[in-house]
Chains A and B, each alone.
Chain A
């Protein structure tokens, strides 16, 4: 069993543990490479089925290709697709692109708040109708008690401290000073009412592992990751006002792997194109303590 196979088997094991032990489970799908690789792992774990809904948090500032690509795969793979959005903040124009708040507050409102509301069932939940291809309000208000997320330990400092099964309190907060012990393949699967757990099957993957896996398994990924002839591509995908492309001519997962292993990105951090990470040391930690993924 090679390195990638070992990572793959472990992730599948974690996905299955989550499915068997957590009653009301969902998976976050940001359309990015990590959560798309994770979606592929889920289809492998459950032999072509994805037995829980996928949640996408729509900030309204996602790059348009992302939404089109999401709906195409959701229909093709028969996914239960749920979209959450903070319509109140968008209507009141309380966003960074509107010039009303700083980047961090914008993330907090459009991502963290929208996520919390969709999880608790108190906010907007739009569900994909497979016969029309459109989205309709989801009648279910049942809170989700488990959320699978595709974060990796090598992304940044606070994520390097995560657990595979990471509890969140009734306010979605993360208590970093008192995380549960996790050993011998046994995870925290008992919870007080109102709390939930984040499950992180990709914790041990590095950026280059994800790309090698995408290459090996031919996982379909959104075109924004590849140079379309202009010498630019996205290395990490977020909202367009806060994410900038990098200069690169990589056109395929293979070329991206080469770039990461021996080429120009050999020693450059993945999220260096994300503006909100640079504003203050520890910003992401603050966001994550507060419920951000």
Chain B
């Protein structure tokens, strides 16, 4: 079972979270072209090793998290809030 260390709630089972998707994607602006959106939505790398992904603490604090997880071993290297302001709060509370 994957265990995710939520910066707000502490370490919890993955069953409390919902998987989001690829956290490395920079979504284009709403005005951007169909081509740019196609790139962002449909073209994904299939990474063997550590990848950045989003997880939603849906049965917890509802925070969206950026998680660095190995697709091979499920090892989790880092967890931080997606929102930069929340990241700062976490940093300051360390």
On whether the two chains bind one another, the answer is no
